[in-house]
Structure 1
Amino acid sequence: MNPKNKGETNMKLGLSVYPEQETLEQIEAYLTLGAKYGFDTIFTSIFSVDGTRKEIVDYFKKLTDIAHGLGYVVDGDVNTWFFEKIGASYDDLSVFNEMGIDILRMDGPYGDERDAALINNPFGIRIEYNTSMIRVVDNALAHGAEKERISTCHNFYPQRYTAPSYEQIKGMNAHFHKLGIPVAMFLNSQVEGTHGPWPVSDGLPTIEEHRDMPVSAQLKHMLAMKTIDLALFGNAFASEQELEAVARVLDKATVSLKEVDPKMARALRSMYAMHGKTVPKEQLVRIPFLIHEEEGLSEAEKERLYFGFHADLGDCLNYMLRSRLSRMACGKEEIKPRVCDKPMFERGDVVIVNDHLRHYAGEVQIVLKPMKNDGQRNLLGYVDASEEEIFDLIEALDFFTFVKAE
């Protein structure tokens, strides 16, 4: 895997299941529902299941048969202590191959050359490390580990206020992204009473900011990070509405370049050329901001607001996110001034330059800092408050679009 170009994503979606608290029937029903919405990875805890070696192997063989039949990859949480219990070792993963496990998440690594041997196992089982284990992964690579067999995953944090901030994890993400090693992160279902591996029901996010955030906003935040390859629901069971919501975000966010009309393609090439870059080959990713629309918008305003590709060139990231594309690529219809009684536009407000400033009329802008309403801009609406945190991650050539709140 090579690091992705800016503006591209191959993000996947996943679920977590906890055999010590759920029946196989419940798990199968949940995985069937997830498959309907494009989920294709499951995380589970292997070492939390009690029983003899045979009982544990038989159980997980049944689980992986169900999962594989629905198109899932199975990621199992283990540690070196469990290796001893189950009769496995760094150079013998045959028991996990027998179970049908595709990825082993090493809750505790060896910390020496044995990690390289573990990674290069003959069964092709991918080895996953906590993202905090940078030295472990770097050391394994130095001992000949095959990079393509490694992935990483953040922790989740059941106890409120114990999860890190995005600022604390972004360096880890950047390190592995540069190496081309996938990074996974946990989504937090907002369904009351969801669980993880322990009897705690206060969510399972990777970062504290996500604990009470709608799942769609969490996923958009991850997309804006540009370093997350897999978004997994940590707690179970997420609702069908939540599964559908994140799948819809990914669908709205990803645009095949084959769908872009020639005029738009020329504008994109021009924008990228300004930064000495080429347009991504396969697809573009847009953050689909949820907008609460003002009443009385003109058709010309709606055309520019819901124009599919907004981006700041990077020179105006101060008071606003400024989309010149909505001015350049759309027609020259009038943007008649509309009365707005707000003396100041506030963070999250979405505005459009009107004909009082005709040369720039049609530019759509997201307000980042309070701006005086001088009559040169019409208020189009405001971005949902749950998504304002995403603004801080938007950089030059990060595309965004708008989806009307129902």
Structure 2
Amino acid sequence: VIDINPTLFKKLGISYDDLKFFKDLGVWGLRLDEGFSGIEEAKMTRNPYHLKIEINMSTGSHYLDNIMTYDPDTNNLLGCHNFYPQRYTGLSDENFIKYSKIFYNYNIHSAAFVSSNNATFGPWPINEGLPTLEEDRFKRIEVQVQHLKFVNAVDDIIIGNAYASEEELITASKAFYSNYPVLEIEFLKDITDFEKKIIEDNVHLYRGDASEYLLRDTLMRVKYHEKSIPPKKYAGRFFSEGDVLIANDDYSRYKGEVQIVKKKIENDGRRNLIGSLTNESKKLLKYVHPWSSFIISQVSGEK
């Protein structure tokens, strides 16, 4: 996909109605970053070569609305966010979702960028990562991918810089193709094999009648109702945001229920502390919505 602008069309003597020049170059698509009025983009999407016309999703303007008034062929129209080489210039989550929603509402295929921490090459002589989201800069690549999956605002994820390591490609791929978003947990050392089985061997479902304090998966108490979960002593008076709990034998019919703390609660002894979500996964909790499914898995690299 190559970047083009109106000046390039004039210099090459190319009409918006005939993109054969670009077809002959062997490109797959054209990215239009600036300077077009809307009608030119719509014309280009109707090219007979099925070249994809990609537009910038990160402008926060009514650019797409304008193009749509000229009846483009949406099969050939794509949206892709910018990447941001300069630190502190990437998009916030709020703006990312806001801008992406415009494309989602028109059912336009979309993409955003994550960044390799192994890469040394980008479009500019700067090596500060190439993500779309500023919050993801310098994070592990699988964490960046999970973030975009939880936000659920784009279809494709692109690694912006070169070259990702083999390990990064594997972990990013696993994160992207996982059937469910993954929250990472750091287990306590005294966790039992059965408690770990409850957490890691199941897909968890966020109960629909959401509490302000707890994310509850009640399916586990049904599945393991015949099993014993002895209470464990925990010195702390309170459980904090991101703590992962399992209701123990002392909680009667709630025994086996998996809970994630959203807001500090008192420890009355009827819940066993299993571990805590990583700081990155704690931030993803706001994107786990009632009736959504997810996986809880041990932090990558831990044993």
TM bracket (short chain): over 0.9
**Local SS of the residue matching 2:273:** strand
Over the matched positions of the two proteins, sequence identity in percent amounts to 33
What is aligned with 2:158? 232
Could you say if the C-alpha distance between residues 246 and 317 of structure 1 is closer, same or farther in structure 2, counting changes exceeding 3 Å?
farther
Structure 2 matches for 1:3-18, cutoff 5 A? Answer: none
What is aligned with 1:127? 53
1:223 maps onto 2:138 in alignment:
no
1:134 and 1:128 map into 2 onto residues whose CA distance is: 16
Kept in 1, the 8 Å contact 2:210–2:290? The answer is no
Name structure 2 gaps, 5 residues minimum.
none
Greater share of helix residues, 1 or 2? Answer: 1
What is aligned with 2:209? 315
What is aligned with 2:261? 367
Kept in 2, the 8 Å contact 1:116–1:143? The answer is yes
Kept in 2, the 8 Å contact 1:300–1:333? The answer is no
What is aligned with 2:230? 336
The runs of at least 4 aligned residues of structure 1 exceeding 4 Å deviation read: none
Structure 2 matches for 1:17-28, cutoff 5 A? Answer: none
1:194 and 1:358 map into 2 onto residues whose CA distance is: 56
Question: Higher mean Cα deviation, 128-137 or 155-164?
Answer: 128-137
Kept in 2, the 8 Å contact 1:103–1:126? The answer is yes
Name structure 1 gaps, 5 residues minimum.
1-74, 255-285
Question: Higher mean Cα deviation, 338-347 or 326-335?
Answer: 326-335
CA-atom RMSD in angstroms = 1.8
Per-residue deviation at 1:303? 2.7
Could you say if the C-alpha distance between residues 81 and 317 of structure 1 is closer, same or farther in structure 2, counting changes exceeding 3 Å?
farther
1:224 and 1:388 map into 2 onto residues whose CA distance is: 12
Q: After superposition, give the CA deviation of every residue in 1:45-74 in whole Å (9 maximum; x if it has no partner).
A: xxxxxxxxxxxxxxxxxxxxxxxxxxxxxx
What is aligned with 1:246? 172
For 1:316, give the aligned amino acid. A
1:306 and 1:109 map into 2 onto residues whose CA distance is: 51
1:84 and 1:342 map into 2 onto residues whose CA distance is: 70
Per-residue deviation at 1:134? 5.3
What is aligned with 2:246? 352
2:35 and 2:23 map into 1 onto residues whose CA distance is: 19
1:165 maps onto 2:107 in alignment:
no
Structure 2 matches for 1:123-272, cutoff 5 A? Answer: 123-131=49-57, 132=59, 135-191=62-118, 194-251=120-177, 253-254=178-179
What is aligned with 1:390? 284
Q: After superposition, give the CA deviation of every residue in 1:216-241 in whole Å (9 maximum; x if it has no partner).
A: 11111111111211111111112222
Per-residue deviation at 1:80? 2.3
Kept in 2, the 8 Å contact 1:109–1:115? The answer is no
**Local SS of the residue matching 2:204:** coil
2:285 and 2:60 map into 1 onto residues whose CA distance is: 29
Kept in 2, the 8 Å contact 1:300–1:334? The answer is no
Kept in 2, the 8 Å contact 1:194–1:238? The answer is no
